[in-house]
Amino acid sequence: MEQQERKTIGVCGSRIFNQIPMSFINLLRKESIEYDYYTIAFSSNTDMEEDFRTDVDDKDRDVSGESQLFDLVKYIDFSGLVILTETIKNPSLICRIVEIGKSKNIPVFSVDGTVKGCYNMVMDYHDGFEQIVRHVVEDHGCRKVDMIAGFKGHPLSEERIQVYKKILQENGIPFEEGRLWYGDFWDRPTRAVMKEILEDGKGLPEAIVCANDAMAITVCSELNSKGIRVPEDIIVTGFDGTKDGKYHFPILSTCEPDYEGAIKFIIKEMEKKQETGNIVPCDYRIGFKLSGRQSCGCESMVMHDINTIVSSFGRDLGDCSWHNIAMNNMVSSVLEKKSVMDIAVKIPEYINLWSDNFRFACLNSDVVKYNREADRDNAEMVTVLWDYRGEFREPGETFDVSEFVPHLDEVIRKGGDIDTLIVRLLNSGRKVYGYTVEGFQDLDDRRLQRSNEFAMFLSFSIDTVLHNYQLAKLNEDLSEAYNKIAKLYILDPMTGIYNRRGFFQKFDEMIGEKANIGKYLYLFSIDMDGLKHINDTYGHGEGDFAIISLSKAITRVLGDSAVCSRFGGDEFTCAVILGQKEHYTAEGLSKELAVVLGQTEGIQEKPYSVSASIGLICEEITEDIDIESMLSIADKRMYSDKVARKKERRE
């Protein structure tokens, strides 16, 4: 990708449409605009940890298909790279991203995780949680304070428990085991905890401090359902600073990370690198800011912008419904398709209502050629979508992956207000098909969710079409295999003409045709002369040559309309249907065979001759024609001919 006038920041994370990573990226986007930075975020679709091999170098570590997403970082001229380390979790992927950053000689920032060689920006959870507990105990004077922790034994949960105990002790409040609960950081266990708190008979606490916002929201909901007022009857606090807490009523008192300060640090260090050319990694502690709001009583109970909030939720819900319907229709429209490019033709029909920014999707050319998984060594990509605010380019443009997005300069030049790109893989499990890139001028929950939905539906559509193609190919292969097996079942493997089974199958079809009634059936019984002598004297290889030569001569003389078969050994049976009688004679056929055999390549050099005895019978075809009797007569006439020929040779 060519160097852009605007400087670029790269962000690597997993599932960035979740609240916390999205909050960070949004703040990064807003802050970086002032310094003329352009943000490109790579969103992996998994946060699964994988085995981390310690017996190999970082560059040789096994990584999942998701690493192909972060490999795209290599092709963009970034001024700096930010890793949302806690969201990725996979050490192999993190090491891979760091190595790419080092190879580009740019500063790499690890947010909420310690990684060798990075600017490590560690969250100061201890100090943050201490602020909120101290606020409840010291500023509000609460003495009976319950705590709902996360998972029992979880490091973050245990750290916050120790902070809770420390603040109680400093304020002369004895720690009571019965006031410590575990809500596992989410809704359902917290509801069970609240039931116990409300029914344990000890009386209500003055305050409940929760280890995260999600549990605090649940606590408020459960208290409200019982008619217990927050904060008048019980103070409730959270920890994290999620958007849900700000939209909640009462607005949640919490501690939120100081991402603004962290982002200012990132930009400052990138600017230093631009000025000096030096990268000097150091540690930075991301602090927390106390936000005393309504649920602790620091702010009056006013429903801030409730109409605006409810209206936005309604719009988002409606958009979600319509977008999912459109995406489902897109998938339905390709259910019977067998070409991936058929999807490209359909996409504009279903996303034109949402063409308010920039959307791009491409596939590895191997996938377009119906390989289910892209070859990582193949750098050729094919566009299936290029849309800038309803201006759709024709799909099918090929480009090298190092170009990242064709004509991106044009988008940046035209749409100066588009300042953030989100990059996602198109994949099914570990099978990677390509990637999508979506541009934003305003990053919000619904836009990110829509981007995520589009990538998932498009991946499913691609998988469906490839599956259809594979099924069609499998059916074709099975049909071909069946035909081969069927031929083996009715054909003689040595000569390629029918065997006994094939002869009777084909013969019955001929006799069964009504159009052949009244015509004449010629049956030939043909037996090679002297095969035993050839085998015993010259070997079975020569015997096989003689059999094959006679077989070819018979089929050549009798023609394509004849049913020729080898019953086994040196015995041949043939059938021909003609409209006139006395067309063939045994003597005439014998002479024709002799001529054709004499023209067979290599037969003149043989120390033996190839000939055959022939028995022939011809009968008019009727509905009660006796085939067995005709075959018996043909055999007898063949043996009579053989005896006569032996007698001639002796004389």
Q: DSSP letter string over 87-107?
A: HH--HHHHHHHHHHHHHTT--
Q: Does any domain span residue 588? A: yes
pLDDT of res. 368: 84
Q: Decide which of 269, 296, 323 is a domain's last residue.
A: 296
Q: Any idea which residue has 């190595």 for tokens?
A: 99
Q: Residue 58 pLDDT more than 80?
A: no
Q: Does any domain span residue 22? A: no
Q: Residue 63 pLDDT more than 90?
A: no
Q: Decide which of 272, 296, 320 is a domain's last residue.
A: 296
CA distance 462 to 481: 28
pLDDT of res. 134: 97
pLDDT in tens, 284-314: 999 999 999 999 999 987 665 666 666 676 7
With a CB cutoff of 8 Å and minimum separation 6, the contacts of 617 are 522, 523, 630, 633, 634, 637
Domain span holding position 530: 500-650
Amino acid identity of residue 602, one-letter, is G
DSSP state of 150: S
Amino acid identity of residue 617, one-letter, is I
Q: Is 642 exposed, middle or buried (0-12, 13-18, 19+ CB in 10 A)?
A: middle
pLDDT of res. 479: 76
Q: What is the pLDDT confidence band of residue 574, given thresholds at 50, 70 and 90? A: very high
CA distance 12 to 84: 6
In the numeric block, which tokens belong to residue 285? 């502690």
Q: Does any domain span residue 222? A: yes
pLDDT in tens, 2-51: 444 678 999 999 988 887 888 899 899 888 888 888 899 999 876 554 43
pLDDT in tens, 617-644: 999 999 888 989 999 999 999 999 999 8
Q: What is the pLDDT confidence band of residue 139, given thresholds at 50, 70 and 90? A: very high
CA distance 154 to 229: 31
Q: Does any domain span residue 350? A: no
Q: Does any domain span residue 111? A: no
3-state secondary structure of 510: helix
In the numeric block, which tokens belong to residue 202? 């000890």
With a CB cutoff of 8 Å and minimum separation 6, the contacts of 277 are none
Indicate which CATH number applies to the domain containing 136.
3.40.50.2300
Q: Find how far residue 115's CA is from the centre of its chain.
A: 30
Indicate which CATH number applies to the domain containing 601.
3.30.70.270
> Other C-beta atoms within 10 Å of 34: how many?
8
CA distance 96 to 511: 74
pLDDT of res. 306: 60
pLDDT in tens, 213-228: 999 999 999 999 999 9
Q: Decide which of 296, 324, 351 is a domain's last residue.
A: 296
Q: Does any domain span residue 341? A: no
pLDDT in tens, 382-425: 999 999 888 899 999 999 999 999 988 777 766 567 888 999 99
Q: H/E element holding 382?
A: strand 380-388
Q: Does any domain span residue 51? A: no
In the numeric block, which tokens belong to residue 439? 């541009």
Q: Residue 52 pLDDT more than 70?
A: no
Nearest by Cα to 229 from 203, 249, 254: 249
Report the number of distinct structural domains present in the chain: 2
Q: What is the mean pLDDT of residues 180-198?
A: 95
pLDDT of res. 54: 34
Question: What's the Rg (C-alpha) of the chain?
Answer: 42
Nearest by Cα to 25 from 9, 36, 7: 9
Asked if 338 and 469 count as a contact pair (C-beta separation under 8 A), the reply is yes
| Global pTM exceeds 0.85 | no
Q: Does any domain span residue 184? A: yes
